[in-house]
Amino acid sequence: MAVRWKAAIVDLDGTLVDTLGDFEVALNRTLADLDLPPVTRALVERTVGKGSEHLIRSVLAHQLALPEVGACAGRDVQALYEPAWQRYQHHYLGINGEFAAVYEGVVEGLALLQEAGLQLACLTNKPIAFARPLLEAKGLAGFFPLVFGGDSFERKKPDPLPLLKTCEALGTLPAHTLMVGDSCNDAQAARAAGCEVVLVTYGYNHGEPIQQTPALAWLDSLAQLPAVWAPKAL
Ligand SMILES: O=C(O)COP(=O)(O)O
Ligand SMILES: [Mg+2]
């Protein structure tokens, strides 16, 4: 069956790898350094998806507002952001991949995309310095000749710019490039760039059901990708 796309751009966190454990550990070591209480995994799950800067700012705001923390001069998000970002990079790079797992069906799904003749690029909102070693550690780097992070371009998803730039690097038109992601950020960026989008149901979407987000398909596993181009195979 001929596939109408020449390339696929694949998201990382929540689509290829379940990284909530890494986020939780790196954030909680950062918060401990700053003498702030730990976050819950549920808060992390609701907050990831818009890059590390957004994650750190949101978590600091949430923890500083806890009744047990109490107001203290000079301890606001603005003042704590820079030290938090420094500690977070240190801790994240120290554990990158250790508390994370590749989702079932990912290796099979990526192999199916390759067999269908699609070029692959990984496009994540996490910093490129975190993304490359994570893909290496999880045995997925070989699938992706192109990897771009949240700091690779001027703006992050949901802005269409990173998708347009990735299409340029792939040498494909957005209309011939499929986006595979787990959140409304991926879908919004794809729509604005002119790429079709397939969403997985098992990732992180700010606590909202992903089925509310328009997409070509919502898949429980990347191994179901052929159903998108050959619906009768289901
Ligand atoms: O770091 C994040 O915010 C999530 O990144 P993602 O784009 O790979 O889902
Ligand atoms: Mg994601």
Taking the CA of residue 186 as reference, the ligand 1 atom at the shortest distance is 7
pLDDT beyond 80 at 35: yes
Does 22 qualify as catalytic in the annotation? no
Q: Are 128 and 96 in contact (CB under 8 A)?
A: no
Residue position matching structure tokens 């954030």 = 27
Side chain identity, residue 32? A
Distance 204 CA to ligand 2 centre (A): 6
Could you give the CA distance from residue 218 to residue 39 in angstroms, rounded to a whole number?
30
Residue position matching structure tokens 């490359």 = 132
The residues whose Cβ lies within 5 A of ligand 2, an ion, are 11, 13-14, 182-183
Q: Is the CB of 124 under 6 A from ligand 1?
A: yes
Q: Quick one: which of 135, 109, 133 has its CA closest to 122? A: 135
Query: pLDDT for 104-155, tens place per residue?
Result: 999 999 999 999 999 999 999 999 999 999 999 999 999 999 999 999 999 9
Structural domains of the chain in order of their starting residue, each with its CATH number: 7-18+100-233 (3.40.50.1000), 20-95 (1.10.150.240)
Q: Is the CB of 181 under 6 A from ligand 1?
A: no
∠ CA 232-205-5, nearest 5°, is 40
Query: In this prediction, what percent of the chain has a pLDDT beyond 70?
Result: 97
Which ligand number lies closest to the CA of residue 203?
2
Distance 106 CA to ligand 2 centre (A): 14
Is 13 annotated for ligand binding?
A: yes
ipTM: 0.98
Query: pLDDT for 151-185, tens place per residue?
Result: 999 999 999 999 999 999 999 999 999 999 999 99
- Give the pairing of strands 119-123 and 196-200: unpaired
Residues 6+ apart with CB under 8 A from 85: 52, 53, 56
User: Annotated catalytic residue: which of 11, 18, 22, 186?
Assistant: 11
SS3 assignment, position 58 = helix
